Amino acid sequence: MTATTATPGIGHNARPLPPVGHPIWPDGAEAVIARRKRPVWTSGQARTGEWVQRFERRTPPFIEPLMGWTGGDDTLAQVELTFRFRDEAIAYAERQGLAIRVEREPMTPVQMWSEHRRRAAEERYAGGPMPAKSFPRSTRPRPSSRLDRRRGWGGPVGKSATDE
């Protein structure tokens, strides 16, 4: 049995494969990995859980003089790869030898509010120790309601009119 090498025939469109160990991405390519955000103009949730790997622009865009359109010679800025999990995207970028920048996940409105309250408390108590609760309750006694007074749970401390 003779061993034959597989060579493409005449008229093939396949580019030759790069040599082993040769990177397929250009030098200076930086991958930005982030979770896809929901577009503001739609309420749909499709594809919002995906992790997207985009590439930073390596050259600035320019204004094309004839038509005034914005142009650029960095075609890598158009490439977008999607992954189901963040670890998959990071592993892929590391296998390819890319510089990586991972962005934080977008916060929900509840997370944004709690973060705002935490930062406000830190700023308020920047000079000294922060109390156990960042928003302490008032030390003023709570006014009792009519129902509490009927049941004998509230009202002024001391003798009542029925005790005499």
Domain presence at residue 93: yes
What is the predicted pLDDT for the residue at 145? 65
Q: What is the CATH number of the domain that holds 71?
A: 3.30.160.190
Query: Does some domain include residue 24?
Result: no
CB count within 10 Å of CB 54 equals 17
77 found inside a domain: yes
pLDDT, residue 41, reads 76
Is there a contact between 82 and 62 (Cβ–Cβ < 8 Å)?
no
Q: Are 84 and 50 spatial neighbours (Cβ–Cβ below 8 Å)?
A: yes
Q: Tens of pLDDT along 70-123?
A: 888 888 888 999 999 999 999 999 888 888 999 887 666 777 788 888 888 887
pTM comes to 0.51
- Tell me the pLDDT tens digit for each residue of 66-77: 888 988 888 888
In a domain, 105, yes or no: yes
Provide the pLDDT for residue 84.
Answer: 92
